[in-house]
Structure 1
Amino acid sequence: MRAHDQMRFGPGVPVPTAATPDWPAAAKRPRPWWRRLVSLLSSLLTLALLVVVGLYLWQRLSPLAIESATVAVPRPAGNRCDVTVDVVATVHTNGKRGVIRYQWFRSDAPPGAILTEQVGRGQRTVLLILKWTFSGVGTTTETATVNIVEPAPIQAGTRVAYRCPRG
């Protein structure tokens, strides 16, 4: 028996390696021009699609923001007695969907409850209305202030005049 015909087994016994055949080098053919053009257009289309999706998500996911708020009395009480006056806060937003949390402060009463107003997407102006009832004979000038708590704190106010001459 020859040495290379011996059978070996068990751990630590090396396995003889077989020689690997030499493969001929493949001739590299240049890619046709139309394949390069298709590849370039595909890459540009993918990039454009990613940009569009990114802008869409950025628009949809950015939160509601308050740009400004003003308070006014569109129809003052004048010289009328026992009247309800509308105090209107006009809130300008960035047009995003969200919730405005706010409360009214009146100079003749404790702070009101915190209220909410739903804002729809694309809605840039929101009206918050306080109905204030005056009664009796006399003259007074009070203050109404809207306190927006969310999405960002902001306040705006105005004076409300009431004059009821003697009956």
Structure 2
Amino acid sequence: MLLTDEEEAGGAVTAVWRGDPPVVPPRRRRKGARKRRWVLPVLLAAAVIAVFLVLGVLPEQAAAKVTEVTVRAEPTEVGCNGTAEVVATARTNGAPGMIRYRWLRSDGTVSGELTQSVSAHQTEARLVLRWTFNGRGTQRARAVVDILSPTPHTASAAFTYRCR
């Protein structure tokens, strides 16, 4: 004969009242409990692995880096009241990010900090300086690009302004 939970509880209370040791009913297992026992540890292990992948591997791969910088000036000789276009080519590792840089001119002018964004798989960024000259005379000019981050680099190009 099977007893209900209430009847089993009543029998246990009566046994304790009489001084008998308490009767603990056997635990009933639900069907499928053994099969579901592995789910929580597997989910927990997957979560830990995911955290390690995101924190440990992805930042290394996702960080933009400048690998090389070259600078050229066009034209190499600027005529009266002309403008030179100085172009720095920053080669990157192809990861997305921001390049922080500034231009320093031989006349003492500093551009201040500038930024250029690079998208994923973009391996080059063009950083342009336009330098305009006025008046008569000859001047040897130099423009320096100073990459501040993510990877510091410096490069320069020279040209001549000539107006008679």
Please confirm whether the aligned pair reaches a TM-score higher than 0.5, indicating the same fold.
yes
Superposition pairs of residues 80-119 of structure 1, within 5 angstroms: 80-119=79-118
Output the CA distance in 2 between the equivalents of 1:152 and 1:60. 14
Output the CA distance in 2 between the equivalents of 1:59 and 1:67. 17
Q: What is the deviation of 1:59?
A: 8.3
Q: Deviation per CA, 1:88-139, whole angstroms, max 9, x where unpaired?
A: 0010000111111111000103321211111111110111000001121111
Q: What is the deviation of 1:75?
A: 2.2
1:147 aligns with 2:143: no
Q: 1:135 to 1:8 in 2, by over 3 A?
A: closer
Percent identity of the aligned residues?
34
Task: Provide TM-score, normalisation by structure 1.
Answer: 0.63
Question: In structure 2, what is the equivalent of residue 129 of structure 1?
Answer: 128
Tell me how large the CA RMSD over aligned residues is: 3.2
Task: Return the structure number with greater helix share.
Answer: 2
Q: 1:131 to 1:15 in 2, by over 3 A?
A: same
Question: In structure 2, what is the equivalent of residue 69 of structure 1?
Answer: 69
Superposition pairs of residues 20-39 of structure 1, within 5 angstroms: none
Output the CA distance in 2 between the equivalents of 1:94 and 1:16. 73
- Which structure's CA Rg is the greater one? 1
Output the CA distance in 2 between the equivalents of 1:113 and 1:94. 25
SS in 2 for 1:99: strand
Q: What is the deviation of 1:17?
A: 7.2
SS in 2 for 1:73: strand
Output the CA distance in 2 between the equivalents of 1:90 and 1:100. 12
Could you tell me which runs of 5 or more consecutive residues in structure 2 were left unpaired when the two chains were aligned.
Answer: 1-14, 27-48
Post-superposition, which runs of at least 4 consecutive aligned residues in structure 1 deviate over 6 A? Answer: none
Question: In structure 2, what is the equivalent of residue 9 of structure 1?
Answer: 17
Q: 1:14 to 1:81 in 2, by over 3 A?
A: farther
Q: What is the deviation of 1:84?
A: 0.5
Which stretch of the first structure deviates more once superposed, 122-131 or 58-67?
Answer: 58-67
Aligned residues: 125
Output the CA distance in 2 between the equivalents of 1:15 and 1:133. 102
Output the CA distance in 2 between the equivalents of 1:8 and 1:134. 105
